[in-house]
Amino acid sequence: MSAGTDRRESSAASDLLSAEDLRARLLAVGHERYHHKHPFHLLMHEGKLTRHQLQAWALNRYYYQSIIPIKDSIILSRSGDPEFRRAWRKRILDHDGAEGEPGGIEKWIRLAEATGLEADSVTAGRGILPAVRYAVDAYLDLVRERSFLEAVASSLTELFSRDLISLRIGALRQHYPWLESGLMYFTARLSQAPEDAAFALDWVTRHACTREQQDAAIAALSAKCDILWAQLDAIYYAYVQPGWPPPGALPAEAS
Amino acid sequence: MSAGTDRRESSAASDLLSAEDLRARLLAVGHERYHHKHPFHLLMHEGKLTRHQLQAWALNRYYYQSIIPIKDSIILSRSGDPEFRRAWRKRILDHDGAEGEPGGIEKWIRLAEATGLEADSVTAGRGILPAVRYAVDAYLDLVRERSFLEAVASSLTELFSRDLISLRIGALRQHYPWLESGLMYFTARLSQAPEDAAFALDWVTRHACTREQQDAAIAALSAKCDILWAQLDAIYYAYVQPGWPPPGALPAEAS
């Protein structure tokens, strides 16, 4: 079925998911694969991570944060629709900030500093796990090389981030009070992420006009969940489970 | 310093490494970072892996094998020198084979079959770990996007593969005799890899004409070592160390 087939004329129209069913399928992907279930997050929320493990998380996750505006600029660059671009560009402002108004990246650096890292060493990217780099770079490949619909759909992990972040803010305050000065990243995301997710979900629902496109959107969300999950795997195994960071990565804590 | 600066006229000529020093630096990278030291390989050579763990290795490593001719075709496509291309194309023949002459990919499928996997499920790529995909795809990005010298230098891990493979063939025969029918991949590589490595080492030595280029070549070899290491990390942590393959990957062995 070609991308241009109108749903009402398609012989496979009976296969098309309703907007509600598509939404339910997307939510089911998040339920199964979003990183809220990752053991690293479970340990974090139970207060069982050391400061060093939180450092490793803040350092590695910074690499992800740092490419988000690049990812969103790629998506912007692929849209020919000024209305879409006006809605989407907000994400770039949210992450890059403005004069006197720190964006998400700067807030993440504050979080990394609260764990005890130097801002310079974080932004220099020294000691980031290669596996984290590969996963994050795979996200850039996805939004660059897959269909525009899939690029947009991959952002739908934000449907699930509000619940995770509210849980996290409480848990971090309770178990790691010394992180307090670094929490503004999360408080900002509490309102930003649901707004962005609502726009993207509406857009995907309206533009996935064939069952193939709907399936591609679901698969793109699943692929994005893999990318988030793989980052935590790399951090968990290098710094939590007795393991070994590869040569050149932030060393394990001296015991 | 520009790429075209002649070493004899450069003001930084004293910094230039001699061919012997460059070679020593490249060997030192392999000594420190090549995956012969990875704990997954150590367990393999001690006979401590289960058939299921070897299956996970054969399945995941297949993805790496499957892109090698693509990687070499990209390198080929970036060379304007027929002599270079004539030397390099041998690699594509080695991996893709010819009528009645199985190449490396087909031999790897025989290895996977010897572990008990179906050829079809291997080539379909179902159950491959996302982290392995990201690492392997990062290799394609490297040869596509970095300088041509770096693309060629990244192949220099073959300098170290002969020793690893000869050790492995003996260990596999001793500890996993049921793998015998799958070993022809390795026996072929014993002669192919050193030939390829000798050509590439000579080429890199002659074409890294500035210290910056020499350093870039060393860094590219190091980056390639990271790519190999990260694949084994993913396999080790999903299937050896009590852990969890991500949703959708080959499940852990039922206990």
> Distance between CA atoms of B172 and B178, rounded to whole angstroms?
9
Q: What is the mean pLDDT of chain B?
A: 90
- State residue B82's pLDDT score: 86
| Residue A101 φ/ψ, nearest 5 degrees | -135, 90
* ipTM of model: 0.72
- State residue B48's pLDDT score: 96
- State residue B243's pLDDT score: 66
- Checking if the pLDDT of A248 tops 60, the result is yes
Among B233, B235, B244, most A C-beta atoms within 10 A, so best to mutate, is B233
> Using 50, 70 and 90 to split pLDDT, how confident is the model at B2?
very low
* Sign of the dihedral through C-alpha A146, B222, A234, B39: positive
Size of interface A-B (CB pairs under 8 A): 80
- Checking if the pLDDT of B80 tops 50, the result is yes
- For the residues B188-199, what does the mean pLDDT come to? 93
Cα separations in angstroms, B249 against A134, A230, B127, B129: 18, 12, 4, 6
Cα separations in angstroms, A82 against A85, A94, B175: 5, 19, 64
Contact of B114 with B179, CB cutoff 8 Å: yes
Please report residues of B whose CB lies closer than 8 A to that of A130: 135, 226-227, 229-230
Q: What is the mean pLDDT of chain A?
A: 90
Please report residues of A whose CB lies closer than 8 A to that of B146: none
Strand, helix or coil at A240? Answer: coil
> Using 50, 70 and 90 to split pLDDT, how confident is the model at A244?
low
Provide residues of B within 8 Å CB-CB of chain A. 32-33, 39, 130-131, 133-135, 137-138, 141, 222, 225-227, 229-230, 233-234, 237, 241, 243-244, 246-248
- Checking if the pLDDT of B247 tops 70, the result is no
- Checking if the pLDDT of B3 tops 70, the result is no
- Checking if the pLDDT of B1 tops 50, the result is no
> Distance between CA atoms of B112 and B114, rounded to whole angstroms?
5
- Checking if the pLDDT of A194 tops 70, the result is yes
Answer yes or no: CATH 1.20.910.10 is held by domain B18-239.
Answer: yes
- Domains of chain A, residue spans: 22-239
Q: Which residue is closest to B231 within chain A, CA to CA? A: A131
- State residue B146's pLDDT score: 97
Please report residues of A whose CB lies closer than 8 A to that of B125: none
Burial of residue A71 (number of CB atoms within 10 Å: 0-12, 13-18, 19+): buried
- Checking if the pLDDT of A225 tops 70, the result is yes
The class that CATH gives domain A22-239 is mainly alpha
Q: Which of A10-14, A215-219, B90-94 has the highest mean pLDDT?
A: A215-219
Task: Say if the Cβ atoms of B229 and A248 lie within 8 Å.
Answer: no
Nearest to A229 among B230, B233, B246 (CB): B246
Contact of A6 with A209, CB cutoff 8 Å: yes
Q: What is the 8-class DSSP label of residue A101?
A: B
**Distance spanning both ends of chain A, measured CA to CA:** 59
Contacts 24+ apart (CB under 8 A), B70-79: B70/B140, B71/B139, B71/B140, B71/B143, B74/B140, B74/B143, B74/B144, B74/B151, B75/B143, B75/B148, B75/B151, B75/B152, B75/B155, B78/B143, B78/B148, B78/B151, B79/B148
- Maximum distance among all alpha carbons in chain B? 67
Among A67, A231, A233, most B C-beta atoms within 10 A, so best to mutate, is A233
> Distance between CA atoms of B1 and B123, rounded to whole angstroms?
46
- State residue B238's pLDDT score: 87
Nearest residue to A217 via CA among A230, A196, A202: A202
- Checking if the pLDDT of A67 tops 60, the result is yes
> Using 50, 70 and 90 to split pLDDT, how confident is the model at A243?
low
Task: Say if the Cβ atoms of B241 and A246 lie within 8 Å.
Answer: no
**pLDDT tens digits, one per residue of A20-31:** 999 999 999 999
> Distance between CA atoms of A145 and A147, rounded to whole angstroms?
7
**pLDDT tens digits, one per residue of A72-131:** 999 998 998 888 998 999 999 999 988 889 999 999 999 999 999 999 999 998 889 999
- State residue A3's pLDDT score: 38
- For the residues B207-224, what does the mean pLDDT come to? 97
- State residue A70's pLDDT score: 93
Task: Say if the Cβ atoms of B131 and A244 lie within 8 Å.
Answer: no
> Distance between CA atoms of A224 and A41, rounded to whole angstroms?
17
Q: Which of A149-153, B10-14, B70-74 has the highest mean pLDDT?
A: A149-153
- For the residues B82-98, what does the mean pLDDT come to? 90
> Distance between CA atoms of A120 and B79, rounded to whole angstroms?
39
